[in-house]
Homo-oligomer: A and B are copies of this chain.
Amino acid sequence: MLMKSNSSSASHQFGRREFFKGAATALGAAALTGCSTVRASAKKAKNIVSTGDVVLFQGDSITDAGWDRKQGDVPNKQPGLGHGYAWLAAAELLTDRPNDGLRIFNRGISGNKVFQLADRWQKDCLDLQPNVLSILIGVNDIWHTLNGNYHGTLDIYEHDYNALIERTLKALPDVKLVICEPFVLKFGAVNDKWFPEFNEYRAAARRVATKFNATFIPYQEMFDTAVQYAPSEHWLRDGVHPTTEGASLMAHHWLKAVGEIC
């Protein structure tokens, strides 16, 4: 798709090189981690979303994002998918692959902690028989403990999360798992009291992903990078819940993680 030309571009190329030589010098080996390099390697991610797959998003309010409880059984439509990252990822997948017979559902419920996923797991996960199951859970496990509405611990979180995945694999041994890292930015509802414990919850989610060989999405790293380009309030409403811009970024990185993006 690249344009070709026989004209000489020496002068303007030189000007540009001069102008940006600082940036170019700073790149060095780090540039080798660029996306195009990953694409070119033999290790590029396989796309885990296959033709005909049922894709299920599970989690708390961040996943929920207001999906219409009366329309949740209708796959692929905005009302049943809400207004968050799950919907935006679905919309991008579906407009990319409208003829692939994908069926995408959302069953995130606001306020949920891991044990509450377990309470409704038969109906809201196993019965739907997902081929791809994406879970984002954890922020309430610490938040509701900090505000006195729950008495959770890191061990309970990790134990319950492992038990949930083991139960899932027993029922759906071929399910392709995506585990999303819990994330926050320190403003709004999130203050110093969250740390360093919150980082331990993130690490626990990563251990669960590693243990079960799931695709892991490092959302904390993504948001920490994103604040280089726009302030925290641009990405999250209150330190916890994404704006549409934050949800858009999450959707993009979700697609990247599942191999839809290089």
Contacts and interface: CB of A to CB of B under 8 A. Distances in A.
A23 B101 contact: yes
Categorize the interface residue count of chain A: 35 or more
B77 A2 contact: no
Contacts of A252: 92, 95-96, 251-252, 255
Q: Which of A23, A44, A45 has the most CB atoms of chain B within a 10 A radius of its CB?
A: A23
B92 A249 contact: yes
Interface in A207-255: 212-215, 222, 225-226, 228-231, 234, 244-245, 247-249, 251-253, 255
A100 B28 CA distance: 9
B48 A35 contact: no
Interface stretch (A116-124, A142-150, A152-160, A174-182): A174-182
Given A5-B169, A5-B173, A78-B234, A36 B47 contact: yes
Nearest 9 Cβ contacts at the A-B interface: A78-B230, A248-B248, A30-B99, A5-B173, A7-B173, A36-B47, A23-B101, A244-B244, A92-B252
Given A8-B173, A35-B47, A248-B248, 20 more contacts: A3-B175, A3-B212, A5-B173, A7-B169, A12-B129, A12-B171, A12-B172, A13-B174, A15-B129, A24-B52, A27-B100, A31-B101, A34-B51, A34-B97, A91-B248, A94-B229, A95-B222, A95-B226, A98-B225, A260-B261
